[in-house]
A and B are shown apart, each in its own frame.
Chain A
Amino acid sequence: MLSILFLTLILSLFWLLLSWQFAPFVLGCGVVSIALTLYLAQRMRVVDAESLPLNLSARIVWYWLWLAKEVALSNWDVARHIWGKRIHINPRVIQVKTPMKTPFGLMLYANSITLTPGTVCIDIEDGQVTAHALTDSAAAGLESGEMGEKIRRLGL
Chain B
Amino acid sequence: METFLVLASTLCISMGVFLGITGAIGIFRMPNFFARLHAASVTDSGCAFMLLFGLMLQSGFTLATIKLCFILLFFLISSPTAAHALAKTALSCGAQPTSSPREER
Contact = CB atoms under 8 A, between A and B. Distances in A.
Interface of A: 14, 17-18, 20, 71-72, 75, 78-79, 81-83, 86-89, 91-93, 110-111, 114-123, 132, 134
Given A75-B19, A119-B38, 7 more contacts: A17-B63, A78-B39, A82-B23, A91-B32, A116-B45, A121-B87, A132-B37
A121 B45 CA distance: 15
Main secondary structure of the interface of B (DSSP, over half): helix
Interface band, chain B? 35 or more
B67 A71 contact: no
A71 B49 contact: yes
- For A20, A75, A116, the residue with the greatest tally of chain B CB atoms inside 10 Å of its CB is A75
A114 B30 CA distance: 18
Majority-rule SS of A interface residues: mixed
B6 interface: no
B88 A82 contact: no
B57 interface: no
Nearest to A112: B80
A122 B95 CA distance: 13
Given A71-B49, A78-B42, A89 B80 contact: no
